[in-house]
Amino acid sequence: MKKQLILLLYIFFVSNTFAQISGYVKDKTMQAVPGVNIRWSGTNEGTISDAEGHFRLNTSENNNILVFSNVAYNPDTVDISKIEKQDRMEVILNDAISLSEVTITKQRLGKIKSRTAVFNVETLNTHELRKAACCNLSESFETNASVDVSYSDAATGAKQIKLLGLSGTYVQMLTENIPNLRGLSSAYGMGYIPGSWMESIQISKGTASVKNGYEAIAGQINVEYKKPQNSDKVSLNLFTSSTGRTEANADVAVKLNEKLSTSVLLHASDEFLTLDENKDGYMDLPMVRQYNLANRWYYKNDGYILQAFIRGLSEKRTGGRTDDSYKIGVDTERYEFFVKNGFLFGEEEAEHNHEASEEHEHHNQSSLGIILNGTIQNQNARYGLKNYDGHQNNLYANLIYDASFGEYHKISTGASFNTDAIDEKLAVNILPENFNRTEYVPGIFAEYTFTRKALTAMAGFRADHNSVYGMFITPRFHIRYNILDHVHLRASAGKGYRSPNVLAENNFLLASNRKLKIAPDLKMENAWNYGFTVHGFIPVFGKELSLMGEWFYTDFNNQVVIDMDTDPHAVNFSNLQGRSYASSFQIEANIEPVKGLTVTLAHRMNDVKTTINGNLREKPLTNRTKSLMTLSYQSPLRKWQYDFTTQFNGGGRLPYPDSNHLLWEREFKPFTIMNAQITRNFKTWSVYGGAENITGFVQKNPIIDIQNPFGTDFDASMVWGPMHGRAFYLGFRWALAKSSN
């Protein structure tokens, strides 16, 4: 029986290796062309290129001629007998056809896992983000299996993400591939980016490219804002919910001439209801008022590209008891800008993105990118009788030179400089303490990529010198190999570092009465991350089933341990003394079983442990497992769309309670969250409505000793589930599309 099984597997692999042909379809600008009909000449046998222009089909015994056709391009034919069997085809469609009116309907993919990138990267575009009430970045991952978002505490409304079982401080947050949402903005920054401003989100697991810095330990999340050269002339998004939240978003894009474009993005939101569904006298959610304004520019002339962005934000966050006997107030002002300059050189001119996870290269092409970014943030916070004032100034510069040598080799080199000035003042019992630190970090890096046929290998290295912590080295290595055209393997190994910003990143803990005990000699955190991914694309009854399995392991050399176990009335911050690791295993399946319906099923298991007070313990407030099911159906002609998401969250451990005075359990139990949305699309506008937390599940008694907010037992940090019950929302979108010419 064993021999027969081996023989069957051998026949399967051999037949798939030699009986199929694959490749990519691109246009003259080397961009992927999805939706191209590919068939054997004189037959109806064939396939359609996917969202990345990729295709695969069985060979024909009696036919060597493939026909490529799309309504927007002239058809083309290819004789495959003249192509080496082991090579993947690259078909270029030219000469777009001018048509008076064409209507094309096709289910858009909202979530794309790159088949060609060396990184384990997943892109969420606007179609995916619109499947739920995506009001800001923190609400953009409801339909995503990899990223968890939860409240940091039960009082301030601060949200944190988790990736690979680790908190968001170990995930490098980027906007336009520039490090952002660091330090003072890490606690509440997930709410600073409106959902309607985002063009896409890229999620990379494990250590990423050294070009963007050394801070990615668990991974990277990059947000791309709308671009003025590609945006609608005018767009509007209005939103309201049963929780009293109302917001308005508008953006205008103007093409001033063939070279210059600009856009203005506006956001305003407010809360009009004081929620207290459990009648405990404490707001279930804080009331947040935010105003957000941005302006960006795009200029392109021959081999030069300029992008500029400037933004200002004002936010007022109010929480606490409904009778105002205990108040929480966090006032934030934030200003930021970036300027990106790109210079293109080489035999052929083509637009090149320095920071993109996947690029279309030209032989002997090179480019130079110069990036400058700056932020100023002021935060004044009051937590009952405690006051926290934080100020952060950041300046970041990055110079990147990319060069391709021949068909297989690419090298990227450059230098960066980052400075952080953080001034903090904490007043507890009217005795202020100052915590000030300024870091200067110059660095250099180099990255080599080799690509040939089924293999891509990347080796990166950077050296940085921190004015506080000294010199450190960051090596990273990635490899992608296609066993078969429809079975991809990826492996990665690399190191990441980060400076601890204890108060800036955890000042929401001041909403509790636990004492903060911070060791005076905290060291820089650093860890190795190892990852392995298998991604297969299996034909099932004419459909493609995407199956992925991945495992990542993070091993800390040093970590700032947050100890809430040793003393139930304190939080201790100290250097790691022993082991600390996070192991994350995930499987995921995606398929379109019938036309218009996409299904995602995923399951993840986390094993996260840290040495606390001499004992290796499971990290508290971390779900051991998570399962996800999403269903999305789009009717013909895209008039209606129905989306349904279910999250099955496994249980976990809570910080140890006082054994002599038990105020909470040692474990939290599994729970389920369901969300649904219906969208009706018209020609230029759409309406959408939905429900969040349909079952109405809420965590009982999330605040310990809630009736005594100034007592030693008062604790709002024991949060593991939703803070509010079922909520309904309604929204409206309208857009005036840009001219086709």
In tens, the pLDDT along 411-427 reads 999 999 999 999 999 99
Query: What does the pLDDT read at residue 5?
Result: 42
In the predicted structure, residue 359 carries a pLDDT above the cut 80: no
Query: What does the pLDDT read at residue 351?
Result: 41
Query: What does the pLDDT read at residue 8?
Result: 41
Q: What is the pLDDT of residues 312-321, one digit of tens each?
A: 999 999 999 9
> Which strands make up the sheet holding 147-151, listed edge to edge?
147-151, 159-163, 166-167
Query: What does the pLDDT read at residue 653?
Result: 96
**So what's the architecture of 2-92 in CATH?**
Sandwich (2.60)
In the predicted structure, residue 33 carries a pLDDT above the cut 90: no
Rounded CA gap, 723 and 151, in Å? Answer: 8
Choose between 67 and 736: higher pLDDT. Answer: 736
Least confident of 23-27, 202-206, 336-340, 481-485: 23-27
In the predicted structure, residue 138 carries a pLDDT above the cut 50: yes
In the predicted structure, residue 530 carries a pLDDT above the cut 80: yes
Percentage of the chain lying above the pLDDT 70 cut: 89
Query: What does the pLDDT read at residue 339?
Result: 98
Q: What is the pLDDT of residues 83-126, one digit of tens each?
A: 654 456 778 887 544 434 444 444 556 788 877 789 889 999 99
Rounded CA gap, 672 and 648, in Å? Answer: 5
Rounded CA gap, 587 and 379, in Å? Answer: 41
pLDDT band at 361, cuts 50/70/90? very low
Tokens encoding 46:
């064939």
Tokens encoding 583:
């192991």
Measured CA angle at 137 (ends 135, 141), to 5 deg:
95
Query: What does the pLDDT read at residue 72?
Result: 61
Query: What does the pLDDT read at residue 10?
Result: 40
pLDDT band at 16, cuts 50/70/90? very low
In the predicted structure, residue 485 carries a pLDDT above the cut 90: no
In the predicted structure, residue 616 carries a pLDDT above the cut 90: yes
Least confident of 298-307, 640-649, 658-667: 658-667
Backbone angles phi, psi at 137, to 5 degrees: -60, -35
Query: What does the pLDDT read at residue 115?
Result: 77
Q: Which positions ≥6 away from 494 have C-beta within 8 Å?
A: 206, 207, 460, 474, 475, 476, 477, 478, 528, 529
Q: What is the pLDDT of residues 35-58, one digit of tens each?
A: 787 878 777 677 777 766 778 777
Rounded CA gap, 71 and 104, in Å? Answer: 9
Query: What does the pLDDT read at residue 257?
Result: 94
Query: What does the pLDDT read at residue 99?
Result: 38
Mean pLDDT across the stretch 376-399? 96
In the predicted structure, residue 71 carries a pLDDT above the cut 70: no
Global pTM value: 0.85
Tokens encoding 62:
């009696």
pLDDT band at 27, cuts 50/70/90? confident
On the 0-12 / 13-18 / 19+ scale of CB atoms within 10 A, 348 is exposed
Looking at 2.40.170.20, 3.40.50.300, 3.40.50.1000, 1.10.3080.10, the CATH number of the domain 222-736 comes to 2.40.170.20
Q: What is the mean pLDDT of the chain?
A: 88
Rounded CA gap, 611 and 622, in Å? Answer: 15
The domain ranges of the chain are 2-92, 222-736
Mean pLDDT across the stretch 117-137? 90
In the predicted structure, residue 528 carries a pLDDT above the cut 90: yes
Q: What is the phi-psi region of residue 290: left when phi exceeds 0, alpha when psi lies from -120 to 50, beta otherwise?
A: beta
Query: What does the pLDDT read at residue 439?
Result: 97
